[in-house]
Structure 1
């Protein structure tokens, strides 16, 4: 696929920096500087600086001295997605040969192939020189040859409508197999950059929606796990309440037994001189049972204290989990919205948050 742009003198400098990557800072989010060394220029015959060549070529032919005159045209030819990577260079070489034949080798500014962006593509830049003959009004048999800079006449409607089909035939003949240059975006002729951007933006928006759906799905799974944790804590809390209640009943029984023991008023058996020898009616077994009851009562009290402490801890933890649950839901929603917003196309985000845009590049606007 390919699309065309026209450039005035004022906008050429920015494009030259983009073509040859000499600028330190280029505002392109898709640029990978680690791959810039893989870029190359197919216009090997051109030894002059790009800007210097444009100025010289315009001085060699007739060129109106106006700021709105388009002194350069560039085609961006993108490698088809289904083209094997091993054939990329041959594809760009064939495309370059087609373009230089169509617009004249003597007018070629540069033909940089960019391998450091998401999709490999070539920027073919040339000075749009129209060659023709002008008849003398007084003597029709006499005509004068002329050369003039005119993007409007060189890249006219017919040129745009026939471009992709002609390029495909040329490249297929060179490579020896079918090449999918013609597609929904090009079969009806060349589309403007804005139209191509809108189409690309819709594709990116669909991709963003799919990724957002995946994020939402993962977030919901996380919320579900958190809800299960809260349910487990609630269950543990309920179990502890039941165990504490049972221990309280048991402890009450022990305390009743202790009170019964305390109410016993034994008769003490006295010795010869009034000393106490023992307790009448109390056997050794009774004493052992009393000791066991006292020990179990102490153990039950300790166990109750521990369970009460654990119960209070769990009771405090459940509201905390509820708060964390709500926070998790809020954060999840914010992440969903942020993820969707970051994947929106640039022009959609600019519509949501307008900002002043400055651009000298003209795209199928007023032709000169």
Structure 2
């Protein structure tokens, strides 16, 4: 089963200009080799924002019109938390164009329902790169105040990693919870996309070459079924509450898969 991917990056004034140009493809030439300009016309926006207005102008106007304080927005304030929403390439290959759009609309609805529809500044879907994905900007604005720390603290980020996949499953998309990585929010978009490309290669090693996915406590390769059976026994003996990290069997590393194929 494929994984749900939801990764957040805090955006200040200095970040929003580049994000706007990238998401709206506002450039004559670009250095991003992942972008196929012949497919850029397939990209679309899921909000009704005026796409000719920059993100910075749009968000600042929205906050200034609704904030309770007369103070100016701080120059170093986080104006927007941008989420990249996606899954692996094989997941999207099974979906039609309509289903792909529904996937992104469903993810957007989750954030609208939990963090305010008016706070969704933009939701830009890209189909002109290797894997479909959405850049969604959520303005961390509540009770008349702008605060990323208040809206998306560590506990809330953990909650999203748990609840979003469940929400997607309830709406017909079979997805597993992605691994919770506290460092993910510190990665650049390029680093994140590079990591996703590595995961695609790793999945290909399994599907096309039969590389082993799991290793037991004796460092022997085992099947997925054997791993799941052993973990169920482990849970039954120690209780369903047990932390999976205490289970000695594990997934094979990328290098172990490569070495096995060699």
* 8 Å CA contact retained: 1:79, 1:91: no
Distance in structure 2 (CA, Å) of the matches to 1:174 and 1:100: 15
Matched, 1:85 2:89: no
Look up the SS of the partner of 2:118 in the other structure: helix
Q: Which residue of 2 aligns with 1:148?
A: 145
Distance in structure 2 (CA, Å) of the matches to 1:195 and 1:115: 20
**Cα distance change of structure 1 residues 165 and 80 upon mapping to structure 2, 3 Å threshold:** farther
Task: Give the counterpart of 2:166 among 157, 165, 169.
Answer: 169
Instruction: Give the structure with higher Rg (CA).
Output: 1
Q: Which residue of 1 aligns with 2:80?
A: 72
**Cα distance change of structure 1 residues 154 and 169 upon mapping to structure 2, 3 Å threshold:** same
How far 1:92 moved relative to its partner? 0.8
Summarize deviations over 1:62-89 as a string: whole Å, max 9, x none: 4654322111111000134342131322
Distance in structure 1 (CA, Å) of the matches to 2:117 and 2:148: 16
Alignment of 1:184-195 (within 5 A): 185-186=179-180, 191-194=184-187
Distance in structure 2 (CA, Å) of the matches to 1:121 and 1:193: 19
* 8 Å CA contact retained: 2:46, 2:125: yes
**Cα distance change of structure 1 residues 153 and 3 upon mapping to structure 2, 3 Å threshold:** same
Matched, 1:178 2:178: no
Look up the SS of the partner of 2:134 in the other structure: strand
Alignment of 1:210-289 (within 5 A): none
Task: Give the counterpart of 2:56 among 51, 56, 74.
Answer: 51
Distance in structure 1 (CA, Å) of the matches to 2:34 and 2:112: 28
Distance in structure 1 (CA, Å) of the matches to 2:152 and 2:187: 18
Q: Which residue of 2 aligns with 1:98?
A: 110
Structure 1: runs of 5+ lacking an equivalent: 132-146, 211-368
* 8 Å CA contact retained: 1:160, 1:190: no
Distance in structure 1 (CA, Å) of the matches to 2:196 and 2:124: 25
Distance in structure 2 (CA, Å) of the matches to 1:10 and 1:24: 21
Distance in structure 2 (CA, Å) of the matches to 1:170 and 1:37: 30
Alignment of 1:280-359 (within 5 A): none
* 8 Å CA contact retained: 1:72, 1:128: yes
**Cα distance change of structure 1 residues 201 and 111 upon mapping to structure 2, 3 Å threshold:** closer
**Cα distance change of structure 1 residues 73 and 173 upon mapping to structure 2, 3 Å threshold:** same
* 8 Å CA contact retained: 2:46, 2:123: yes
* 8 Å CA contact retained: 2:108, 2:123: yes
Matched, 1:20 2:13: no
Look up the SS of the partner of 1:70 in the other structure: coil
Greater mean alpha carbon deviation, residues 188-197 or residues 157-166? 188-197
* 8 Å CA contact retained: 1:172, 1:179: yes
**Cα distance change of structure 1 residues 54 and 123 upon mapping to structure 2, 3 Å threshold:** same
Summarize deviations over 1:176-223 as a string: whole Å, max 9, x none: x5223x23x33x66733429938828938x88xx9xxxxxxxxxxxxx
**Cα distance change of structure 1 residues 92 and 202 upon mapping to structure 2, 3 Å threshold:** closer
Matched, 1:127 2:139: yes
Look up the SS of the partner of 1:101 in the other structure: helix
* 8 Å CA contact retained: 1:114, 1:120: yes
Task: Give the counterpart of 1:113 among 125, 139, 150.
Answer: 125
How far 1:159 moved relative to its partner? 1.3
Distance in structure 2 (CA, Å) of the matches to 1:151 and 1:119: 28
